[in-house]
Structure 1
Amino acid sequence: MNIEVDFEERLNIVSGRISGELTREIAKHYFTEVGEIAASQSCNRVLTDVRDADINVTQDDMRTLAKELVQIGLSSSYRRAIVLREDVSVYKEWENHCFTAGHKNLRLFVDCDVAKEWLSGH
């Protein structure tokens, strides 16, 4: 499991990166850590970089995890950007499950700078 989570004070963003295999358990651990840092910094903007991750989850995993996000500390009001490789199909499904669970401020990006710009509201 390769997870990094930091608070970028200059941008007021919780920034995380997942590399290697990405399973439901790893994602849940990641989101728990993000939620803790976001709460401690009073920050509601999250950047997740999964360009180096190999996703290994089922539709049911995504649906269940999307419903659990608030319980593990990730508020539905958070503004979240996911930076990914060109293949967006699996992440588009994740985005749809999150929308259904009430997480409306989620966008997918292939460019990290554009994602940071969107998060900062510019």
Structure 2
Amino acid sequence: MDAAGLVYEGRWSGTDGDPAHNAAGQLVTAAHIATYNSGNVGTALLGTFTTGAPTSAARGALVQPLAELATRHSIDPLQQKVGYVNPVNGATWSGPAVSGHRDWAATACPPGGVPHAQPPAIRADVAALMG
């Protein structure tokens, strides 16, 4: 998602018009968090946020696909503890259903850190959009 709210598909999933899923409806494996790439989806905001937050357009562009994915996969975005098992290598993780990159690994991402404080509000916005 860029500052204008344009959404890009990072790992191409085909021409069927179903982002993040292949023609069989399965999630496409990306490369967003080492050891945990299979069986989940990563989203990214483009930019560096050392002194400011993402634009409202970028924030809206983030919340919309998260709500769509959560609805499709019956995920409660407000759930604070879910268990994840990588379907390929068996790696496990436990944390919020909608989480940030730093929840999965020690990293400086997102650049600047301002978005890292926003997941509670993002979860609430996703839940509200889901109705």
Same fold (TM over 0.5): no
Q: TM-score, normalised by structure 2?
A: 0.35
Q: Which one has the largest radius of gyration?
A: 2
TM-score normalised by the chain length of structure 1: 0.37
Q: Which has the higher helix share?
A: 1
**As a proportion of its length, which structure holds more strand?**
1
